[in-house]
Structure 1
Amino acid sequence: MSAALPGTAGSSIDVYNTNSWARGGLILLTPQQSAAGDLVKDDRGAVVVSQRLSTGELAFVALDVKPSLRQKVYDQQGESRGGRRGRCYGEQPR
């Protein structure tokens, strides 16, 4: 799975699945790629759990990205609802 990232802040993040089956996975954005903020929304506008790491990277999990070079668009914006610090608990999606 790969992410194509725009050069402008507050833009969409295109996540591509190059496999022949639907899948999800961890996406890590560099501090430069995630300069727009910590809030990530999926293609339906639902907030996706994200976390700013100590390295400055922004992490989120892309879910149910369809196969065969299809993409799922995520929108990255300002601060998340919980502010800039937080923890994420739970199982990894299957």
Structure 2
Amino acid sequence: MGDLHVKEHGSESYKDLFAEISQEADILVLTGDLTDLGKVKEAELLAADLRSCSIPMVAVLGNHDYECGCVEEVTHILKDAGVHLL
């Protein structure tokens, strides 16, 4: 999955989708632009949803994830949620 563009306000929750994917797939691959502007709050919202995923998660960041200049914090938040970042 890619281009989720999770926003600080007004983004849909992916929690149920990630839980459903966990039942059908062996791994979740996230292919960049996970956040809209690379904000810490956006990463926190995504991480909360990702915690419903019970399968291994692998991700790469996209250009939007670097936009705010908070990439180290975003990376830390996603890793704490169980995402293996490449």
TM-score by length of 1: 0.29
Max Rg structure: 1
Higher helix share: 2
